[in-house]
Amino acid sequence: MPPKRRPADDPVEWLNRARSNLARAQADSRIPEVYLEDLCFDTQQAAEKAVKAVLLHLKIRFPYHHDLAELLDLVQKAGPSIPKSVKAASRLTRFAVVTRYPGITEPIVREEYKRAVRIAEKVLRWAEKLIAKKP
């Protein structure tokens, strides 16, 4: 059962949604009918929502788009240190649009999917730790 919903301006609600996307990405890989591209979209969404949770926590307005490098730049300008493993989230941006439609790119291979999951997990853990601290 999903956690109790919180207001849209609560960073914890954004973290909950990030966890939901990550859980789908991790669980659905065992279903043969599911495309890895769709699971990678969920990894991108998990990372994006985690970063936006950090931005909310820092009281920084953010654009409603999918460019993780740009979103991380906003965080970095505010001062928090961003580990290299979290900066790798910029690789997930392409999963927000391009891989969601047939024929635009080559199919995602399992190793690429696994790497995307690892990146999203690291972003989520980083965001959770940062948000647990006082702004």
pLDDT of residue 114: 96
In the chain, where are the structural domains located? Answer: 11-132
* HEC profile of the chain: CCCCCCCCCCHHHHHHHHHHHHHHHHHHHHCCCCCHHHHHHHHHHHHHHHHHHHHHHCCCCCCCCCCHHHHHHHHHHHCCCCCHHHHHHHHHHHHHCHHHCCCCCCCCCHHHHHHHHHHHHHHHHHHHHHHHCCC
pLDDT of residue 89: 98
Q: What is the mean pLDDT of residues 3-16?
A: 92
The first and second tokens of residue 110, run together, are 């399992």
Taking 70 as the threshold, does the pLDDT of residue 134 lie above it?
no
Q: What is the pLDDT of residues 75-92, one digit of tens each?
A: 999 988 899 999 999 999
Centroid of chain to Cα 1: 21
Q: What is the mean pLDDT of residues 43-57?
A: 98
Q: For the chain, give the percent of residues with pLDDT over 90.
A: 73
Q: Is 14 exposed, middle or buried (0-12, 13-18, 19+ CB in 10 A)?
A: buried
Taking 70 as the threshold, does the pLDDT of residue 17 lie above it?
yes
- Tell which CATH classification among 3.40.50.300, 1.20.120.330, 1.10.10.60, 3.20.20.80 matches the domain 11-132: 1.20.120.330
- The model's confidence at residue 73, banded by pLDDT at 50, 70 and 90, is very high
- The model's confidence at residue 121, banded by pLDDT at 50, 70 and 90, is very high
